[in-house]
Structure formats: C-alpha cells, structure tokens
Amino acid sequence: MAADRERPLSPHLQVYRLPLAAVLSITHRITGVALALGAVLMVLLLVAAASGSQVYTAVYPLTAHWLGQLILFGFTVALYYHMCAGIRHLFWDAGYGYELDTVRRTSWLVMGGAVALSVLTWIVAIAANGS
C-alpha cells in the first residue's frame, strides 16, 4: 500500500547534523567550484600583464585593496583545503584510510594542513613584500 503522506527524506538537511566527513566532503566540492572561478581571475591577471604596463597598472590596485586581499586569502585557503582533501581522496582511491577513527583523524589533518599551508604562504608573502 502506498504511503498517503510525504515521508521525510534522509539526510534531511534542515534538521540533520552532518557528520564531520560530510562537511569536509561538501566543502571539497564548494572549494573546487570556487577555485574554477579563481582560475578565471588568474588568467585575467596574466592577460593584463601581457597587455602591457598601462593595463597591468590599472588592474593591479584591485589586488592590493583590502577586499582584493581578502578574496586572495580566501583562494589560498580554498586551494590548500582542496589540495589536502584531494590528497586524502587519493589515499582512499588506493584503498587506505577507511576506518572511522582514521577518517576522523585525517579530517582534522586535512583542515590543519590547509590552515598551516595558508598561514605559511601569507607569512612568506608578508616577509617578501613587507606589507
């Protein structure tokens, strides 16, 4: 007999607390899509540089503005997060790291690695440019 009312679907995103691994999984997707947009910006910057000093000097201040810096910082975190989570995916592909304890540990490792690499990159940036 068919159900006469709509059943809730699982996982019901409004009431279901996603496990850590699921949060990392959807973040991997979101950062991936964001990085595709970042690639567009990178190519535009290269094209600006190839168009000569006038164009580059006109575009450049955008990257120095605090909002531009914030966006660049966001891309740094997204890049390293996607890289660390991606490396974990490669281990999974090879058949390693499926134990729940291991997954929990590597989840924190992925997040820690992303933060560490981002901070390190910006320390290098500030040290190299003194700003």
Partner 1 sequence: MSLRTPLANARGLGSAKEGVDHWWKQRLTAIALVPLMLWLGFSVAMIGTADYYSVVEWIAQPVNSALLILSIAVGLWHGVLGLQSVIEDYIGAEAARLTVLILIQFAAALLALAGILAVLRITLGV
Q: Could you list the residues that contact partner 1 (CB under 8 A)?
A: 29, 32-33, 35-36, 39-40, 42-43, 46-47, 49-50, 53, 56-57, 60, 64, 76, 79-80, 83, 86-87, 89-90, 93, 117, 121-122, 124-125, 128-129, 131
Closest CB 42 distance from partner 1, rounded Å: 7
Closest CB 112 distance from partner 1, rounded Å: 17
Write b or e for each residue in 67-86: b if 16 or more Cβ atoms lie within 10 A of its Cβ, otherwise e: eeeebeeebbbbbbbbebbe
Closest CB 106 distance from partner 1, rounded Å: 16
Structure tokens at 118: 């981002």
The answer to whether the CB of 110 falls within 8 A of the CB of 88 is yes
Question: Which residue, 56 or 71, has its beta carbon nearer to partner 1?
Answer: 56
Question: Which residue, 1 or 90, has its beta carbon nearer to partner 1?
Answer: 90
Contacts of residue 108, defined as CB under 8 A and 6 or more positions apart, other chains included, come to: none
The answer to whether the CB of 73 falls within 8 A of the CB of 114 is no
The answer to whether the CB of 76 falls within 8 A of the CB of 121 is yes
Closest CB 6 distance from partner 1, rounded Å: 19
Question: Which residue, 31 or 107, has its beta carbon nearer to partner 1?
Answer: 31
